[in-house]
A and B are shown apart, each in its own frame.
Chain A
Amino acid sequence: MTTVGEMSDLLAWGTASAYAIALVAFAIDLSGRLGVRSVAREKALAAATPASGASTVATDVVDPAVRDTTSAGAVSEATARRAASLTSPWKAWSVSKPLAIAVSVSWMGLALHLAAIVTRGFAAGRAPWANLYEFILVGAFFAMAVFLVVQTRWEIRFLGTIVSGLATLAIVVALNAFHVEAAGVQPALQSYWLVIHVGIAVLATGIFTVAFAASVTQLLRDSRDEGSPMLASRRWSWLDQVPTAAQLELLSFRINAVGFVLWTFTLVSGSVWAEDAWGRYWGWDPKEVWSFVIWVVYAAYLHARTTRGWSGRRAAWFVVVGYACVLFNFTGVNMLFSGKHSYSGV
């Protein structure tokens, strides 16, 4: 007889396997695109060049009417703007067979994943996100879910390799290194704030993951466009088919904006809860420190986007740093520091 908790673990392994298959299929799809030089890329590049600081045009919010009053200049800038906006034409990501498989298997994995989480919740008799193992399990779920839902609206399937890779890695690491038996929680955690605060925090983490994937792709594409020798080889030629760096920047921003609002809510709801549970709304506990650091880094990111000279590439590096802080907050802070948040069962 397997218990419900063991069933959850089996489902989690199943999920990891499905994602691993999806990862391979996504990667095969990318490798199938090698060497195909996209016409769209040439066009976009050509369009973006006349404006000063090509890739920063999109984020540096400037009205053509103000910047340039000569008709020709205005038109070329409008074109550049369009080339750099999400609504601009870019070659749709054609559906290869491996890609179709990858997406289907990802959906199947997501279903298994959901089942793993729900059974975990039943086994423990509470919301299934109260220790590190569960945070990671649920965070990976949200990352995949956000990716899969967003790709039904926007063509972002080229992010599949990174997102499914991170999700697979997360689940396998969680199962091997952080797994604990499903159990109830101590009195301090018996609160609906566990559902709200931690749930939102984990959701935000999933969202940041997808945005991170977009920013990494942006940096890669930008480097290749700039002629970086490391990315010049044919192995990286699939980058020519993804949207322009400016479009990716915008995509990342859209997703990060949602993540940032949720993270703000994480901080506020955490404070409300801390006020009741610990007798102060803010106490610079290590977890609080790092949540604050993450928040400030992403706030800096939002400001960087609108600061001349800091948009584009530099803004993307903020996302990378911010996401590194998110991961550290999730794992390192629980393991290295002792604080009030030491509930994670490590």
Chain B
Amino acid sequence: MSGYRPEGIENAFAEDGAPAPASRPSGELPALGVVGWLRWGWRQLTSMRVALLLLMLLAVAAVPGSTIPQRPQDPSKVVEFFDDNPGVAPWLDKLQMFDVYGSVWFSAIYLLLFVSLVGCILPRAKVHWIALRARPPRTPRRMGRYPAQGARVYAASYTPAQVADAAAAHLRGRGPLPRFRVEQGTETSAGARAPEGEPGPVHVVAAERGYLRETGNIVFHLALVGLLVAVGLGQALQYRGQAIVVQGRGFANSVSAYDTFSEGPWFREENLPPFTMVLDDFTSTFTDDAMPVAKDFTAFVSVTDPAGTRLETIKVNHPLTIEGAKVYLQGNGYAPRLTVKDADGNVTFAGTVPFIPEDQVYTSRGVVKVPDVVTGEQIGLVGYLLPTAQLSAQGVRSLHPDLLNPVLVLTVWTGDLGLDDGVPQNVYELETEKMTQARTADGQPVTLMLAPGTTVDLPDGLGTLTLDDIPRFVALDLRHDPALTWIAIFAFTAIGGLMLSLFTPRRRVWLRVSTRSDGDGPARTVVETAGLARTDDAGLQPEVDALLAFLDTRDPAPDDRPAEDNPTPDDSPATDDLGETR
């Protein structure tokens, strides 16, 4: 298989006659032996062809993660998928299809790709490092074969040395950084004559520009490696906690204070910055449309850390940063404050219960579990909070997310809440297996409806339920990824390198100037130029043309120029092109 030969090794700009490095003909196997096979394997892995195959594989492998529900993103959807597809789901699970991006096969592809990348880019970087110090390549003797060419003939009074100096100055440019790296020299050549008729020196100029192209390519690829490493480190060190906080309440930054907490393997609890946070207030505004859309959410919090207490706000898109950890406002809703008393007037439940909004108008579902009854069975209440309730023949629904006419609609269950089984329970679901629903005489479920400040009787003499008021709650997400800065640095470095590598033209320009006289004619200064580009380069011929035009301006005696020998610029090869339409 003919592997990719890196730019520098392939040496596209090699001196005349340099042999092309041999590439192994396809199908030929290396000498036997473990080392031989390893070498062969490595060469295959770091070949461009394999890199290409791995890239294609990566693209294909990424797709199923968008069509099959993914555990890390949405575990409940995965459960649903299992219920809907009991046949295939276990098989897909064996193939790690529910965690594509953490799967063995996906990881294998990108790790191989990156090994290949390093194996490919490091040798290239070395070659480039040497190339950066090398001098521009020798001026070729024959210019005819190069894609851009030009020629001039001047009177002998414009000497080859003057022409060469002018060309070198032009190519170097006036800026602090040279445009081209330029090398000047002389050769002797049989065809050249000093004005007196003796063989004279041929002045040659060799110039090269665009080293940044390869630099950019290497920087880009290495930045990708850096990015992967930084992301990996971040995964190992990060932590994330979620907490639901009701207005007026707060929490301390410790693992136990979060409802859920996940961390990377290298996380240590002592890394948590010490602070406490209290939710003082929460405001939301919505549009007045028929379908209200949120315009703004703001959480007002007091943060207390060793430095003192300060007031802060958290908004969507504007997380609060506390010692490197970011606190995000991820959700919000209402948390009705309820009091349940039994028939004897004992308070069996008092507190706020977050109701989770399920639609744009904050129709919110919640569950109240009353396990601590003094006598009798445990009580479970399930239902909806309707912030702006409207009663109609079809039932009741909410019209707006603001608390304009709040009504709490609940049904009542009695029995065993199942809290003592030791199995962790979802606080937002009621396990009704061991419970029965309270029903009216005609068999309809009992429905309780409460406005704030009202008290209703629970059915079957279970006691009373009071809706005291309806404070807000916010869902906060706290996250710390110490690698973020590095990730950003590598990402932007990659973009920079990419731009350099794609948009820097890499060119070589050569110039030979000699004095000639054919037969008895007057001696003349003959200029030949050629240009070569690393890649197809629309600016190459214009570069050569500009050089010649500049030389013209330096001609001390333009009027003596032997005009018939000078091609008009339009005749020079390769200028009428896909270019200019007008």
Contact = CB atoms under 8 A, between A and B. Distances in A.
B is bound to A: yes
Interface of A: 58, 61-67, 69, 71, 74-75, 78, 81-82, 84-90, 92-93, 151-157, 183-188, 190-191, 243, 247, 250-251, 257, 260-261, 264-265, 268, 271-272, 275-286, 289-290, 292-293, 296-297, 299-300, 303-304, 306-310, 333, 337
21 contacts: A63-B12, A64-B145, A65-B14, A65-B145, A66-B12, A71-B142, A85-B537, A86-B577, A87-B578, A90-B578, A154-B579, A186-B293, A187-B315, A257-B503, A268-B494, A279-B330, A281-B484, A284-B65, A300-B55, A303-B52, A308-B4
B73 A284 contact: yes
Interface stretch (B27-35, B126-134, B333-341, B528-536): B528-536
A342 B133 CA distance: 53
A151 B503 CA distance: 20
Query: Interface range on chain B: under 10, 10 to 19, 20 to 34, or 35 or more?
Result: 35 or more
List 4 A-B pairs, minimum CB-CB distance, nearest first.
Answer: A187-B316, A300-B55, A289-B66, A279-B328
Contacts of B287: 183-184
A296 B51 CA distance: 12
Contacts of B208: none
B479 interface: yes
Given A187-B294, A264-B494, A296 B52 contact: no
B93 interface: no
A188 B297 CA distance: 10
Given A65-B145, A71-B145, A151-B581, A281 B296 contact: no
Given A90-B578, A186-B293, A337-B66, A66 B14 contact: yes
B488 interface: yes
Contacts of A86: 536, 538, 577-579
Interface in B246-291: 287, 289
A284 B142 contact: no
Given A184-B295, A283-B73, A300 B56 contact: yes
A34 to B, nearest CB: 22
Interface in B2-25: 2, 4, 10-18, 20
Nearest to A296: B59
B487 interface: yes
B214 interface: no
A186 B289 CA distance: 13
Contacts of A251: 578
A281 B581 CA distance: 45
A281 B534 CA distance: 37
Contacts of B240: 279
B48 A81 contact: no
B217 to A, nearest CB: 10
Interface string B25-60: 000000000000000000000001101100110110
B185 interface: no
A191 B318 CA distance: 9
B144 A152 contact: no
A258 B453 CA distance: 64
Given A65-B145, A303-B51, A58 B18 contact: no
A276 B318 contact: yes
B388 interface: no
Given A74-B145, A81-B147, A92-B581, A310 B317 contact: no
A65 B534 CA distance: 12
A291 B192 CA distance: 61
A187 B574 contact: no
Given A186-B293, A276-B317, A285 B145 contact: no
Interface string B352-393: 000000000000000000000000000000000000000000
B95 interface: no
B145 A300 contact: no
Contacts of B67: 337
Contacts of B296: 187, 190
Contacts of B514: none
B317 A187 contact: yes
A93 B574 CA distance: 17
Interface of B: 2, 4, 10-18, 20, 48-49, 51-52, 55-56, 58-59, 62-63, 65-67, 70, 72-73, 100-101, 140, 142, 144-147, 231, 240, 287, 289, 293-297, 315-319, 326, 328, 330, 477, 479, 484, 487-488, 491-492, 494-495, 498-499, 502-503, 532, 534-538, 540-541, 573-582
Given A71-B145, A293-B63, A300-B52, A58 B536 contact: yes
B317 A277 contact: yes
Nearest to A89: B576
Contact of B17 (A69, A78, A247, A275): A69
A250 to B, nearest CB: 5
A284 B103 CA distance: 13
A281 B495 contact: no
Contact of A61 (B12, B293, B477, B503): B12
Contacts of A71: 142, 145
Given A82-B147, A264-B495, A307-B49, A155 B581 contact: yes
A61 B534 contact: yes
B327 to A, nearest CB: 9
A75 B145 CA distance: 5
Contact of A289 (B49, B65, B574): B65
B578 A247 contact: yes
A307 B73 CA distance: 37
A78 B581 contact: no
Given A88-B577, A309-B49, 9 more contacts: A66-B10, A78-B145, A191-B317, A247-B578, A260-B498, A275-B484, A299-B55, A300-B56, A300-B59
Contact of B498 (A64, A90, A264): A264
A297 B55 CA distance: 7
A63 B316 CA distance: 56
A264 B499 CA distance: 10
Contacts of A297: 56, 59
Contact of B491 (A268, A277, A279): A268
Contacts of A284: 65-66, 70, 72-73, 100-101
Nearest to A72: B145
Nearest to A290: B66
A306 B316 CA distance: 45
A185 B72 CA distance: 28
A290 B65 CA distance: 10
Contacts of A152: 581-582
Contacts of A283: 73
Contact of A280 (B56, B479, B495): B479
